[in-house]
Amino acid sequence: MPRVEKNFGFGFRVEKNLEFRVRVGITDGEALQIPQIQLPRKVIGFKRIIITYIDHNVIAFLDRLSPLFTSFPLNLAFGTTNECILELIVRNTWQMLGKNIHGIESYACFIHRLRHFVPSFLNDCPPLRFVSVYFEELFTEFPCDDSAAASEGQAVAKWLFTPLQSNVPKVYKCDFVRREQEDWPLKIDAFKAAFANASTPANCIVSIWFRPLFADSVVPFDLINELTQEQFTMKRINNSQRFLLIRCLVRDESKWTKWEEEAVDWHIDEHWNQIHIQINDEDEIGDGLLNATPGPSDQQQK
């Protein structure tokens, strides 16, 4: 059975053989069994949970932590591309994690796989403000649509153009890094056309990292939609390979300067309430779990 290592309670790490290890902070190395009781009320948050092994005991422990997951905005990082593992994670954990997510870092295949189960999951997370895709092209496509038949790019566009209740801009980070991604000007042109034809405003920022070959050929622009009174700008950040696409109403420069800096610098490790799922091999999954019945959160939903 995985065990938990004592420390000052800032985070946890789950690994094969040992391991629920409370991480971040000073540990004394003493291993304990995973607690079987509910979380004490005085626990008001966590820094980081890193999961590199999963079995029924780990799922049950996460279920006992669910009051934290529903009380504080979560930041999730998925460092796996194995579709079988992604399916298992979704089946056993998504119901306890999916409604209170503030930020996601993942490979594009995670978004693809999760949409098989929950096509509209991006818009089903009301607090979701940041989505960052690792080293892959997943750019907006139009028209905006998050139905099961829509593409991942259409679902991203639907989420990006759906305002947050706070009206702060949503942020999407992606990369154009492969040689075959030479169609990126067409993708930017499609974004321009969607902006020109928009009838309702949306605050959003797209942060794009280009290969050097592409970056030197990008031409910044500044457009206006007279109907929505919006501005749409593309600009280069400090002569780097990072560019921002910014769609906004009349700007409060002090606020937008801060939001643009967030879009460039945002990374999950800068925030509290992180959950990192780093399961990359089926040997890191407990016996019987791959073909098991739904986890506790799924059973509660039923």
Distance CA 91, CA 106 (A): 17
Alpha carbon separation from 104 to 91, 107, 200, 266, 294 (Å, rounded): 18, 10, 26, 11, 23
Helix (H) or strand (E) holding 212: helix 212-215
pLDDT tens track for 246-294 = 999 978 899 999 999 999 999 998 898 999 988 887 777 887 776 654 4
Name the pTM for this structure.
0.85
Which whole-number Å values give the CA distances from 131 to 171, 195, 211, in the listed order?
A: 6, 20, 20
In this predicted model, what pLDDT tens digit does every residue of 187-203 receive, in sequence order?
999 999 999 999 999 99
pLDDT for res 14: 53
- CA distance to 11, 76, 83, 160, 178, per residue, from 16 (Å): 17, 21, 20, 37, 35
Give the tokens for residue 208.
């794009």
Q: In whole angstroms, what is the distance from residue 160 CA to residue 87 CA?
A: 25
Maximum Cα–Cα distance across the chain: 64
Which residue has tokens 């009174």? 229
Going by C-beta distance under 8 Å and a sequence separation of 6 or more, which residues neighbour residue 228?
198, 199, 200, 201, 249
Separation of alpha carbons 108 and 67, rounded Å? 29
Report the interhelical angle of 108-117 vs 152-160 (nearest 10°). 90
Give me the pLDDT at residue 180, please: 60
Look at residue 274 in the predicted model and tell me its pLDDT.
92
Do 53 and 15 touch, CB atoms closer than 8 A? yes
Instruction: State pLDDT tens for residues 147-180.
Output: 999 999 999 999 999 999 999 999 999 988 666 6
